[in-house]
Amino acid sequence: MKQPILTRWLVMLGVLAWLVSCKPEADFRPLDTFFHYQRITEIAIDTTVQKDFIAGIDRIDVPLALLYAKDADGNRIDLPDHLVQYLWEEVPLPDNHFRFTERGTYAIRAKFGQVLSAPVTFRVHGHQDIKLRLSVDYQRAGQPYHGTYVADSLTTARFSIGAWIGNKPIQDRSGARLYVNDSPLPDTLFTTRHPGLYTFKVRWQSIESNAIVLDARSPVKRLVIDLGLDARYFYADGKTRLTVELTALDENDRPMRPTPDLTLTQNGVNIPSGSVLSTQEVRAFTFRATGYGLTNQQVTINSVRDETFRVVRLPVIFHVNTSAYPAFTEKKVADMLAQVTQIYRGQYGVERPRAFNSADAYVEFYAAETDPAGRPLPQKGIDAVPLPQRKYTYYKSEDMKVLTDEAWKYYWNPDYYLNVWVTQIEEGFSFAYFPAWSTNLEGTSSYTKPEQPNYTFGTFFNYDHTAGVLAHELGHNLALDHVFSGAGYELNGCSATDPDECDDTPYYDRTAYQASMGSNPYQRTACDGTHFISSNVMDYFHTYENSFTRDQRRRMRHTLDKAYWLPTRFNNPNAPNGRAGLRVPNGYIQKPSQTVNMKRAI
Ligand SMILES: [Zn+2]
């Protein structure tokens, strides 16, 4: 039984194999299936395919397919796509693929027999149809940042590129390129150390996005070339050594640490910050700083030979209420004047920090030896006087009037003596009058000399003040103003013009100094941002008070040459070197009916 059954199965398999191998190329379906096709009344194209294309960018080759075919009753009928034609304007699409590459709108229909589908619209766009949008956000140290873009390489601009055809985002934006100032940018992150205006745009062939303009601000507000002093000269003596420091200040005028990329040149040659300058040649040195978009920072300093002058010696008489201030002795006077002389000769405190441009004023002071009647003074330099009050208050005008009236009683001819009235002045001040010039000087006017002095030219000295204060007040007598703007409690900040008419004395904001007086109270920050150690006699507060400068000397020398009421050759040609003669004509000055309010300083 087994054999015949097996044989029969083998025969059936052979027939089946023949049937399969002989399957015709045409669809092989039962006739009732074709009968079903004839019942089709509605066909629809599958619209889930990509229908928007960009010519030249997208590959345009879409196989078309039906979504469904239905009969009149709405029954779906499975209809193979190769039996369907796809038409554009009655023309069949080859291979049933959409492959148009010309810009345009294509309404495609499917056709089966007499049945037409609803049209499906395909669009082939040109580049001109692309819409590009560029946007940006900022990060600093990994955090979102909304402040000013700073060109310090720490602020990153992150660009986002959007591209649309109509309202539809284009997924593949690889054709879009980001440009900065017309140069391609390799990625969408931007950071720079170079300040300036940067214009960002996206381009995709001929299409451009909106522009984003980035104003990359310099992190450096200004560059300061610091020579230790804002002077324009130093001595060509081979000994004076300047340290040239370049500092970058940020928005808040704080030095930047670490110092960013900066270049410092000396006469066109690069030098490191901190270089030392010293020379025996007389010449100009120009330093220029560049970096972070700042290019015009320049300082010129000249090396100069110092001048020499004739020594002027000024006799000083102290009118002292000796019963009230017994400690104000001949020795004290001698010691103070010796120190004041050292200060004016540039010999005082030379071991301490001192302005490198300090100058010898060639002025000396000594205690008067005789009174106007020619009598030797019991104590050199001291005129013992009775004053009705022990104390006078500077900011009380009636006190000052009383004190001035007292001074008129004890006022020796100023052509022969420099007068110093000694008492106690409340508020802890000493004060002094400025001189009257026959020929004017910067910041002053010339003056016609009356018959006799019409103000108490000289110094009012607080009995317990130091020789440094005396040197300061005598500086006022010799035409020097404060190196800063203001006097006493008056705080004028950084004035628009140099307050003392001396270019070689830096000036500073006293309010800021007092607020930030730090570990080194001798340190100052000048109004131009440079730093210096205060050593000028005409400063206040912590100062080594061992320096005058050349410009200050120029004012003093002009005063010695041209001002009235000083014991100088100009006023007293018969007493060489200002020394008082034995008998002084008009030795005791009387208060005139008309006095003037001359400028005085504390
Ligand atoms: Zn003063």
For residue range 534-584, list pLDDT tens digits in order: 999 999 989 999 999 999 999 999 999 999 999 999 998 876 555 555 788
What is the widest separation between alpha-carbon atoms in the chain?
Answer: 174
**pLDDT at residue 116 is higher than 70:** yes
CA–CA dist 272, 263 (Å, integer): 8
The band of 19, judged by pLDDT with boundaries at 50, 70 and 90, is very low
Distance 427 CA to ligand 1 centre (A): 14
Lowest mean pLDDT among 23-32, 132-141, 519-528: 23-32
Distance 437 CA to ligand 1 centre (A): 19
CATH class, domain 312-482+545-601, is: alpha beta
- One of 3.40.50.1820, 2.60.40.10, 3.40.190.10, 2.20.25.240 is the CATH number of 223-304, namely 2.60.40.10
The band of 9, judged by pLDDT with boundaries at 50, 70 and 90, is low
For 111, half-sphere exposure in the C-beta direction (CA atoms, 13 angstrom radius) is 14
**pLDDT at residue 236 is higher than 70:** yes
Distance 600 CA to ligand 1 centre (A): 9
Q: What is the mean pLDDT of the chain?
A: 88
Distance 392 CA to ligand 1 centre (A): 18
Distance 541 CA to ligand 1 centre (A): 11
**pLDDT at residue 456 is higher than 80:** yes
Distance 48 CA to ligand 1 centre (A): 92
- Looking at residue 1, what is its pLDDT? 41
**pLDDT at residue 13 is higher than 90:** no
**pLDDT at residue 473 is higher than 50:** yes
Mean pLDDT (whole number) for 466-493: 91
Distance 493 CA to ligand 1 centre (A): 16
CA–CA dist 3, 113 (Å, integer): 53
CATH class, domain 31-125, is: mainly beta
Lowest mean pLDDT among 155-164, 184-193, 253-262, 322-331: 253-262
Distance 346 CA to ligand 1 centre (A): 19
Distance 431 CA to ligand 1 centre (A): 7
Residue intervals of the chain classified under CATH 3.40.390 are: 312-482+545-601
Neighbours of ion ligand 1 (CB under 5 A): 601
CA angle 122, 124, 130 (to 5 degrees): 125
Distance 501 CA to ligand 1 centre (A): 15
The band of 20, judged by pLDDT with boundaries at 50, 70 and 90, is very low
Query: Does residue 4 have a cis bond before it (omega within 30 degrees)?
Result: no
CA angle 141, 147, 150 (to 5 degrees): 70
**For 375-393, what is each residue's pLDDT tens digit?**
999 999 999 998 888 889 9
CATH class, domain 127-216, is: mainly beta
Distance 476 CA to ligand 1 centre (A): 7
Q: What burial class does residue 513 get, using C-beta atoms within 10 Å of its C-beta: 0-12 exposed, 13-18 middle, 19+ buried?
A: buried
Distance 421 CA to ligand 1 centre (A): 16
**pLDDT at residue 417 is higher than 80:** yes
Q: How far apart are the first and last CA of the chain?
A: 144
Instruction: Provide the percentage of residues in the chain whose pLDDT is more than 90.
Output: 58
Question: What's the per-residue H, E or C state across 501-512?
Answer: CCCCCCCECHHH
CA angle 354, 494, 535 (to 5 degrees): 10
C-alpha dihedral over 384, 390, 396, 399, to 10 degrees? -50
Distance 478 CA to ligand 1 centre (A): 12
Residue intervals of the chain classified under CATH 2.60.40.10 are: 223-304
